[in-house]
Chain A
Amino acid sequence: MANRRWTPVWLGMPALTLILGLGLGPVVLMVRMSLYERTDGVGNYTPGTATLANYERLLEADSLKIVGFTLLFGASVALATVVIGYVLALVLDSWPRRWRTVGLAVVVIPKLTNGLATVFGLKRILGEQGPINSLMVNSGLLVHPVEFWPGALGAAIAEIDFILPYVVVLLVLQLGRIDPRWLAAARGLGASRTQVFRRVTWPLSIPGILLAGQLSLMWGIGSLFGPQFLGNPSETTISVEVQHQAFDLGHWPRAAAWAVLLFAINGMAFALSGYLARRCR
């Protein structure tokens, strides 16, 4: 059975090659980049230098503020996305097949336009004179319009809007795997709706929720478009800072140091969330 032993290797090799080649290579290069000194003027970095100055810069107060905000922002976005996504997926799953397809299509359609068109639309909708604020102020629900942006609230709404479709698709697929006969059986054996949910639906949704949660957490921590276009400049995420250092200031080594930090944070958040999920189970 030597042949059989090697089959999975052949099947998985293309994926692993892609991951290690394009995923690990850049990370290694970036670690090296973060240790260079900056060249004054046009050049990106000075070859042959090695310094920890770029990392020391990350320990200053304003840098730590960015790190703290990134973590808080990512965690809140992930939590909100998973809760909203799971509830929506549960309702969609209860719909007849045809309507579920329509619902999923509606979830996916905004993703077909372009993430930035969404930013464009959101900016107007959430604006001070936008439809939401005028509706609430005119109807007397609010005295003053809510300032969604520039601010963390608008940025978070944009990021949730970006991530939610993926989470809903994943969770609807996961819920679709649950055999409806089990639910019927549980009901037939006298379980209440709540009990059916707690004892059958919930445990069987956990793998999907775990994946959706980790994906949202990674994407939330790595948020760029939301904070950049709707956020407050004094409250930025690490991604915005990386982009700012690299493109606006041309300080590649410092941008790389930020990027290495972001990679480390994502890795730790990933491991921690996986560990907690296993403990809770």
Chain B
Amino acid sequence: MMFRHVAAIGLLLLMLWPALDAAWLSFSPDSFLTPPTDRWSLKWYRNFFDDRRWAAAILRSFISASASATAGVLVAAPAAWAVVRYRSWFNGILKAGMLLPVAIAPVVLGMGLLPFLYRLKLSGSPVALVAVHTLMALPMLFWIFQNSFAQRSDILEAAARGLGASPWQAFRLVTVPLTIPALIAAWICGFLISWNEGIVTVFLTTPSTETLPTLAWRQLKFSVSPLVAVASCLSLVLTVLGVGVILRLTKRFGSHSGA
């Protein structure tokens, strides 16, 4: 019985390895891919911050990921609520529609969006980018909310109503706290999808609106630069801090509304 735990821990470490390896390499003093053993250096970090494009790309990625995760939650949660709580002719259309973003491969979406946004005079617009990332995350967020809303919170709500709560009170004191885990999971998934999305984004960004994945993609295509490793290391620190703060805030909000 021990074996499966050891295997799972081993697999988790394997999944962590490439990221850790990139972090390690970022401290290399050499120009090629030799990991630092005796000599460590911040040379690539200096180069990284001398080149404004990287910091700007990280910031842009962070903003679009936060924005599209938030938009995704705001769009997916009501839709999932409609499907779970109402019996309507509209549910079938909605459920079928949710399959569309899954069936469109990122390359296909990117190729089609380029002329499409150009016609709408939206090419290069950050709002369009956020909307596209929201679209790509939508099916997963929808599923997470659908799963959460189906967890029979309606019975608990009815109980709260029976005990004299107003509909708004029942919603705020019963439904919202029960939804918080799904809310967090959905927000994080939305953030990650946007943060890692480089395929559609490569079609939609210009050199002046580049996000982290597209900049890294253009760099990796021509040379294997340790700057990519630096970018990944810094973005890890930044996102862990950012997501940590957000989780702390949500938890505080959750415990307040749950009390």
Contact = CB atoms under 8 A, between A and B. Distances in A.
A15 B213 contact: no
A117 B105 contact: no
Given A4-B86, A23-B135, A119-B220, A113 B19 contact: yes
B112 to A, nearest CB: 3
Contacts, number: 272
B240 A109 contact: yes
Interface stretch (B38-46, B160-168, B231-239): B231-239
A263 interface: yes
Interface stretch (A59-67, A139-147, A194-202, A216-224): A216-224
A246 to B, nearest CB: 6
Contact of A12 (B79, B102, B188): B79
B108 A242 contact: yes
A243 interface: yes
B132 interface: yes
B12 A117 contact: no
Given A20-B97, A103-B12, A222-B106, A161 B83 contact: no
Interface in B228-255: 228-229, 231-233, 235-236, 239-240, 243
B198 interface: yes
Interface string A41-75: 00000000000000000000000000000000000
A18 interface: yes
Given A12-B82, A224-B107, A22 B12 contact: no
B138 interface: yes
A22 B71 CA distance: 15
B8 A12 contact: no
B233 A18 contact: no
B129 to A, nearest CB: 11
Contact of B138 (A15, A24, A84, A95): A15
B225 to A, nearest CB: 9
Contact of B236 (A16, A112, A161, A222): A112
Contacts of A260: 108
A27 B140 contact: no
B33 interface: yes
Interface residues of A, number: 84
Contact of A106 (B16, B74, B112, B243): B16
B134 interface: yes
B108 A27 contact: yes
A38 interface: no
A15 B108 CA distance: 20
B107 A26 contact: no
Given A121-B17, A266-B105, A18 B11 contact: no
B88 A9 contact: yes
Contacts of B108: 26-27, 30, 222, 242, 259-260, 262-263, 266
A259 to B, nearest CB: 4
B100 A118 contact: no
A12 B198 contact: no
A189 interface: no
B9 to A, nearest CB: 8
Given A27-B112, A259-B112, A243 B107 contact: yes
B100 A19 contact: yes
A267 B33 CA distance: 41
The 4 closest A-B pairs by CB, nearest first: A26-B112, A117-B232, A121-B18, A222-B105
Given A15-B138, A33-B112, A109-B16, 17 more contacts: A9-B90, A18-B75, A26-B104, A26-B108, A87-B8, A88-B11, A112-B243, A114-B216, A114-B232, A115-B213, A116-B216, A116-B217, A121-B18, A121-B19, A124-B21, A263-B104, A266-B105
18 contacts: A7-B82, A22-B131, A30-B111, A103-B8, A106-B13, A109-B236, A110-B16, A112-B243, A116-B217, A118-B18, A118-B22, A118-B232, A121-B229, A165-B192, A166-B189, A170-B140, A218-B102, A242-B107
